[in-house]
Amino acid sequence: MSTNGKVKFYSDARGFGFIAPDDGGADVFVHATQLTRVGYSGLAEGQLIRYEIGTNDRSNKPMAIRLELLEPIISPAATPRAFHAAMDDLDAATAHMELARQTFMRR
């Protein structure tokens, strides 16, 4: 089930931040790996976002997954790079290909 919220804080240097849900609940942790899956390198404070709640593998605490940035998009887009199967999450391959297609196939 998707939830809408607004980015409260995000640190590019640390690779994580928090989203304030629209329903007024507790802030939700968001990690950089979830951003790269949808083609963004960071989150701007105040960015509107739709997400689902998953579980952080390290802490077993809730975290934002399946992110969708909502208009107006004020967060920086990721710079495409090569996909490395040995290092990258294979589930992210589709996002990498879509980002590359959008960047390099512009007309």
CATH code, domain with 54? 2.40.50.140
Q: Is the pLDDT of residue 53 over 90?
A: yes
Segment 16-42 shows an average pLDDT of: 91
Q: What is the pLDDT of residue 46?
A: 92
Q: How many domains does the chain have?
A: 1
pLDDT tens profile 56-92: 888 889 999 999 988 888 877 655 555 555 556 656 6
Between 105 and 2, where is the model more confident?
2
CA-based angle 50:27:57, to the nearest 5?
A: 80
More confident residue, 103 or 30: 30
Query: Do 38 and 95 contact (CB within 8 A), yes or no?
Result: yes
Q: Does residue 32 fall inside a structural domain? A: yes
In a domain, 95, yes or no: no
Q: Which residues contact 40 (CB under 8 A, 6 or more apart)?
A: 67, 69, 75, 76, 77, 78
Please state, in angstroms and rounded to a whole number, the distance separating the CA atoms of residues 51 and 86: 27
Range of the domain at 52: 3-76
> Is residue 37 a part of any domain in this protein?
yes
